[in-house]
């Protein structure tokens, strides 16, 4: 069973591109444009990593981070954002965010971060990813 990755970003292209690249690497990927249905989905199924945009309509990235910490403490959260602001970064770190990427995101760096996150989890959902 491959690792499950959730991507939440109101920019559809972000989810699409991250998914096509991550699926190529053998991950199972689900994408959401808003946080509310994503959090619903998290109640049904465990995910290894959640990649979320910070600024979104309705529930924002920091709230996603808090909700995930509560629901599924083992799941790693990686945050991406169109603007970096120290206050937000501090809050994210306090909320135990795994990594923090300003846009534009380098996909390779994101994948590297996901690999590290999964390694920390000790391959909870199976073996190391690989082609």
Partner 1 sequence: MRIERKIVFSNLINLVLIVAIGSFAISYLNSISEQATFLSIADSLNASFLEMRLSEKNYFLFNDNTALKSIQDRISQTQDQMNSVRDDIVRVIGQDGYNELQNRLNSYSAAVSQAGATDARDPQTEETIREAGRQLKDSSDAITGQERQHIEHNITRSKELLLLAIGAVFVSALVVSRSISGKIIGPIRQIERLAKSISAGNFKKIEAPIPRDEFGPVIEAINSMSEELEEREEEIIQSKKLASMGVLVAGVAHELNNPVNNISMVAQAYDELYDKLTPQQRREFMQKVDRETGRIKKIVDNLLDYGKPKEPNPREVGINSVIGKSMQLVQNTLNISKIETTLDLAEGLPELFVDDNQIQQVLINLILNAAQAMEEGGRLTVKSSLDRERGMVDITVADTGKGIPAEYLPYIFDPFFSVKEEGGTGLGLSVSFGIIKSHGGNIRVDSKAGIGTTFTVELPVPEEKGTT
Per CB under 8 A, contacts with partner 1 among 66-125 are 82-83, 85, 103-108
Q: Is 21 helix (H, G, I), strand (E, B) or coil?
A: helix
Q: Examine residue 18 and tell whether it contacts partner 1 (CB under 8 A).
A: yes
Q: Distance (Å, rounded) from C-alpha 99 to C-alpha 93?
A: 9
Give the binding range for partner 1 (CB under 8 A) out of 10-18, 39-47, 89-97, 115-123.
10-18
Return the structure tokens found at 9: 């970003």
Task: Name the residue nearer to partner 1 (CB basis): 85 or 120.
Answer: 85
d(CA 129, CA 40): 26
Nearest to 97 by CA among 53, 36, 38: 53
Number of residues interacting with partner 1: please give it, by CB under 8 A: 18
* 20-28, 43-51, 65-73, 117-125 -> range binding partner 1 (CB under 8 A): 20-28
Closest separation in Å from C-beta 17 to partner 1: 4
Q: How far apart are CA 38 and CA 113, in angstroms?
A: 21
30 binds partner 1 (CB under 8 A): no
Q: What are phi and psi of 101, to 5 degrees?
A: -120, 125
Site residues (CB under 8 A) for partner 1? 11, 13-14, 17-18, 20-21, 24, 55, 82-83, 85, 103-108
């Amino acid at each position: 069973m491959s690792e499950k990755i959730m991507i939440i970003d109101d920019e559809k292209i972000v989810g699409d591109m991250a998914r096509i690249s991550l699926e190529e690497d053998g991950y199972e990927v689900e994408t959401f444009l808003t946080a509310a249905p994503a959090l619903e989905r998290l109640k049904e199924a465990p995910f290894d990593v959640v990649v979320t945009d910070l600024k979104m309509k309705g529930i924002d990235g920091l709230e996603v981070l808090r909700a995930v910490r509560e629901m599924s403490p083992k799941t790693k959260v990686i945050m991406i954002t169109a603007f970096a602001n120290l206050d937000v970064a501090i809050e994210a770190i306090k909320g135990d965010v795994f990594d923090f990427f300003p846009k534009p995101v380098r996909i390779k760096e994101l994948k590297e971060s996901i690999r590290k996150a999964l390694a920390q989890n000790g391959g909870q959902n199976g073996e190391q990813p690989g082609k």
